């Protein structure tokens, strides 16, 4: 999908700062700043072999028992989570989409945590238009990242797409917990649009749940597996599709209720 950025440069600088501040305020953990990449940071399309090699080695050394498939998944999910957060926050809470390819990301041990975003023009528009733009960028970025990950550890396209779908759906649940004014049907429709725009249709969905106290919540019905159980075989993620269906629904519902207070 072609990228179109309409704000002039000086306005884009201020918009970049606002987006970074909004992400930090809403999440409490997005550590960003405006600017280009620092030495050794990951940047989509650049020569990232040194950084990815270090991250892969750190994962293999920390979790040797988990095996190569887990290391590949962690490489992939580490690279994706910050761009995905920025895309959703930009579309739904900031009101304009940056050039996500302007992101660079920092490695901290076995994690990618911390980013910089090049100041520049941003595209305004309706929520639906911003989803199309952001989803298209994530699709293109994911293609670049998957090729890079496969230089170190084998990850097939289908599980990679399912893991990205899991991230986007989880982010839409996160959005619903911060925008109580939005109907469940609206969040569901936006979720489907995100998946379609990012080339992820059919790789998961949101599931509405009616609670005993009359509230309607959204949980994730995922198809992908993060393989975290390879670290701790006795524990599954709350949304893991490997566990009993009733247990999965109950765990996610309890988590959603706790988020709402």
What was the pLDDT predicted at 210? 87
Beta-bridge partner residues of 219: 207
What was the pLDDT predicted at 180? 87
User: What pTM was estimated for this model as a whole?
Assistant: 0.92
CA distance 234 to 246: 17
In order of 50, 51, 84, 122, the CA distances from 41 in angstroms are 9, 7, 18, 23
What was the pLDDT predicted at 143? 97
Residue 99: HSE in the Cβ half-sphere, 13 Å Cα cutoff = 21
Question: What is the mean pLDDT of each successive set of 10 residues along the chain, which is 261 residues long?
Answer: 44 85 96 95 96 98 96 98 98 97 98 96 96 98 97 96 98 93 95 98 94 85 91 86 86 82 65
**Residues near 229 by beta carbon (within 8 Å), at least 6 away in sequence:** 235, 236, 237, 240, 242
Q: Are 116 and 101 in contact (CB under 8 A)?
A: no
For 117, the 3-state DSSP assignment is strand
What was the pLDDT predicted at 2? 42
């Amino acid at each position: 999908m072609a990228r179109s950025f309409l704000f002039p440069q000086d306005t884009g600088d201020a918009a970049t700062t606002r987006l970074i501040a909004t992400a930090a305020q809403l999440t409490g953990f997005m550590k960003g700043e405006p600017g280009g990449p620092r030495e050794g940071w990951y940047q989509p399309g650049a020569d990232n072999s040194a950084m990815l090699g270090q991250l892969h080695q750190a994962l293999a050394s920390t979790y040797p028992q988990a095996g190569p498939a887990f290391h590949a998944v962690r490489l992939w999910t580490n690279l994706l989570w910050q761009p995905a957060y920025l895309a959703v926050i930009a579309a739904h809470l900031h009101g304009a989409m940056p050039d996500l390819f302007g992101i660079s990301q920092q490695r901290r041990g076995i994690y990618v945590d911390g980013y910089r975003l090049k100041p520049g023009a941003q595209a305004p528009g309706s929520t639906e238009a911003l989803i199309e733009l952001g989803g298209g960028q994530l699709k293109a970025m994911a293609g670049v990242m998957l090729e890079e990950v496969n230089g170190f550890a084998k990850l097939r396209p289908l599980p990679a797409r399912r893991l990205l779908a899991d991230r986007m759906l989880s982010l839409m649940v996160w959005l619903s917990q911060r925008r109580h004014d939005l109907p469940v049907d609206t969040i569901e429709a936006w979720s489907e649009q995100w998946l379609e725009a990012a080339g992820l249709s059919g790789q998961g969905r949101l599931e509405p749940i009616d609670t005993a106290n009359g509230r309607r919540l959204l949980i994730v019905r995922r198809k992908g597996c993060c393989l975290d159980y390879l670290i701790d075989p006795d524990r599954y993620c709350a949304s893991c599709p490997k566990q009993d269906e009733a247990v999965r629904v109950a765990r996610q519902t309890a988590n959603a209720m706790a988020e709402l207070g």
